[in-house]
């Protein structure tokens, strides 16, 4: 288990993206899923904080740049076909989701519908200033 090799994620599509999963390094909770382009990947590696590529805004997204809830990267993994990366992170502020929940996966799908199964850490209206 000491084999090492070079690995570069398989950035693909018009924006050259891979999928990125952020997981709490301590609890194992899956916090969010986003995307990275090569620049986001390289800045994450060099800077130690999670940087994504926002498909909606078409620009680098330094997680926490607005809310202050940055993600300090503790370990990085790449999957078998190198089109997804997994970050184990320390989530500053205790909430990864812009909706104010610890994880973006705060809704469980049950036979009777979706149910919110987490408590809000912050109110988005207090954190994201309008205009």
Query: What are the residues binding a second copy (CB under 8 A)?
Result: 1-7, 19, 21, 23, 27-30, 32-33, 45, 75-81, 84-86, 97-99, 101, 104-110, 112-119
Smaller CB distance to a second copy: residue 65 or 114?
Answer: 114
Please report how close the Cβ of residue 93 comes to a second copy at its closest, in angstroms. Answer: 16
Q: Are 22 and 50 in contact (CB under 8 A)?
A: yes
Nearest by Cα to 50 from 37, 41, 58, 39: 41
Smallest gap, in angstroms, from Cβ of residue 31 to a second copy?
10
d(CA 85, CA 78): 4
Tell me the closest approach of the beta carbon of residue 55 to a second copy, in angstroms. 10
For a second copy, give the closer residue by CB, 5 or 131.
Answer: 5
- Cβ neighbours around 86 below 10 Å, total: 16
CB-nearer residue toward a second copy: 70 or 102 = 102
Least gap, CB of 27 to a second copy (angstroms): 7
Per the rule left: phi > 0, alpha: psi between -120 and 50, beta: everything else, 117 is alpha
Q: Per the structure block, which two tokens stand in for 23?
A: 């997981």
């Amino acid at each position: 288990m000491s084999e090492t090799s070079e690995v570069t994620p398989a950035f693909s599509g018009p924006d050259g993206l891979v999928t990125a999963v952020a997981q709490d390094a301590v609890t194992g909770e899956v916090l969010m899923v986003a995307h990275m382009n090569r620049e986001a990947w390289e800045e994450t590696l060099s800077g130690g904080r999670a940087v994504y590529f926002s498909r909606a805004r078409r620009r680098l997204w330094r997680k926490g740049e607005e809310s202050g809830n940055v993600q300090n990267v503790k370990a990085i993994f790449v999957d078998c076909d190198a089109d997804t990366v997994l970050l184990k992170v320390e989530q500053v502020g205790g909430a990864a989701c812009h909706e104010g929940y610890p994880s973006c996966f705060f809704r469980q799908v049950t036979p009777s519908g979706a149910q919110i199964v987490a408590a809000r850490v912050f109110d988005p209206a207090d954190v994201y200033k309008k205009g």
